[in-house]
Amino acid sequence: MSKKNYHSVPSQNGWAVKKEGVKALVSTHRTQAAAESATRQQAKRSGVEAVYHKKDGVIKDKDSFGNDTFPPRDLKH
């Protein structure tokens, strides 16, 4: 069974952290930065990817915290 990634997504009251395949939100936040921080923490803890979305819902960035056998070369970090 594969692990589910965490996403930082826009929500009705600001921003939210959502786990793939789960309807309920993990947490809600007033700012995008707070949601991205919480997404990163959850992904690190679970060893999966953190996926960050823009306000329009399009993916803007990803961070991998799993055991990737061929990790991407992230030039940002």
Q: Is residue 66 part of a domain?
A: no
| pTM of the predicted model as reported, rounded to 2 decimal places | 0.84
Q: What percent of the chain has pLDDT over 90?
A: 77
Q: Residue 60's pLDDT is what?
A: 96
DSSP sequence for 46-75: HTSEEEEE-TTS-EEEEEE-S--SS----S
CB of 49 closer than 8 Å to CB of 65: yes
Q: How many domains does the chain have?
A: 1
Q: Is residue 65 part of a domain?
A: no
Contacts of 55 (CB under 8 A, 6+ apart): 10, 32
Q: Is residue 48 part of a domain?
A: yes
- Residue 27 lies in domain: 6-60
Q: Is residue 77 part of a domain?
A: no
